[in-house]
Amino acid sequence: MDKISIDDFAKCELKVGIVLEAEEVEGSEKLIKLQVDIGEAPPAGGPRQILAGVKQWYKPEDFIGKQVVVVVNLEPKMIMGMESQGMMLAADTDEGPVFLTVPKKVTPGIKIR
């Protein structure tokens, strides 16, 4: 395993987000499109669109209202013509990914350290 410095790790901006909406991506066998509130106010902010390739393990309704851990400072990525604006963290298990959640209700956008 390669080691990184604390300065490298500090470049990752992790925040708590709340999943507001989720739906299957039409024409995709894997993708679910999520709208996640990470505490960014409109007009410049608002919910982030995040695409997750987890349809074989989850239904969209499994995500609604969940508080998840989001990497918010990744460069956006185009997937099937849609922009993914972050990544939710998950643990890889033999049964598929298990998303990291926050057990106590907190304000969307709270920074994780």
| Cis amide bond preceding 47, omega within 30 | no
Per the prediction, the chain carries an average pLDDT of: 95
Which residues fall within 8 angstroms of residue 81, CB to CB, at 6 or more apart? Answer: none
The answer to whether the Cα torsion of 99, 100, 101, 107 is positive or negative is: negative
Cα of 98 vs its chain's centroid, Å: 12
- Does residue 26 have a pLDDT over 80? yes
Residue type at position 16: V
Q: Which tens digits make up the pLDDT trace of 34-85?
A: 999 999 877 667 899 999 999 999 999 999 999 999 999 999 999 999 999 9
